[in-house]
Every structure is written in C-alpha cells, then in structure tokens.
Amino acid sequence: MITREQAEEIASRVVRTKPEDSPGTWKLVEFDAGWLIEVPAMFDRSLRGGATCVIERATGRVMRFPSSVPPDRILSEYDDVVSDGRVESLGR
C-alpha cells in the first residue's frame, strides 16, 4: 500500500511538475483503487486524445487510460475498465 504522499511523488513524475510549482495544473482525486491524476483540461470534452492516469493504491503502479474511457467511469467502475488501460513506464 502506498501513501498519499508517495502518490503525489509518483504523480509529479507522471505530470513532470510538482503541484506547488504550477498551482491549478493538476491534483489527485482519491478513490477506492487509488488516485486519479486530475488535469483540469481532461474534463473539457472539446479536447480529444488526452489520456487519464491512475496511481494504484495497492502497488503504486501507474495505469494510463485512453480518452475513450472517461474519468468518471474510471472512478466508479475501475475494476471493469482497468483492462482498457496500459501500464505507464516512468523510467528513471
């Protein structure tokens, strides 16, 4: 199990910025399976091609979902949609 603080560090690597460096650019939304990285632009339905990432609570694994899987569905039906995502490689 990872902590919120660990999830914030992982999210900083995914987004490539810390939330305090650019306030309002992203935040974590906690739900049962972990944390969804919320980037305000991803909720703008006029934008196409954006991905949504989730940091899984159990392992810290980052899953990237295509724009065809809406964030609200990820939050409410994670077990059903996890197979639609792919593991995000963070590199070092």
DSSP string, 6-68: HHHHHHHHHHTS-TTTSTTS-EEEEETTEEEEE-GGGG-TT--S--EEEEETTT--EEEE-TT
Q: How confident is the model at residue 89 (pLDDT cuts 50, 70, 90)?
A: confident
30-85 pLDDT per residue, tens? 999 999 998 765 444 444 556 899 999 999 999 999 989 999 999 999 999 999 99
Residue 64 has a pLDDT of 94
Q: Which residue has the tokens 């694994």?
A: 61
87 secondary structure, DSSP code: E
Q: Where are the domains of the chain?
A: 4-87
Residue 39 has a pLDDT of 79
Residue 90 has a pLDDT of 80
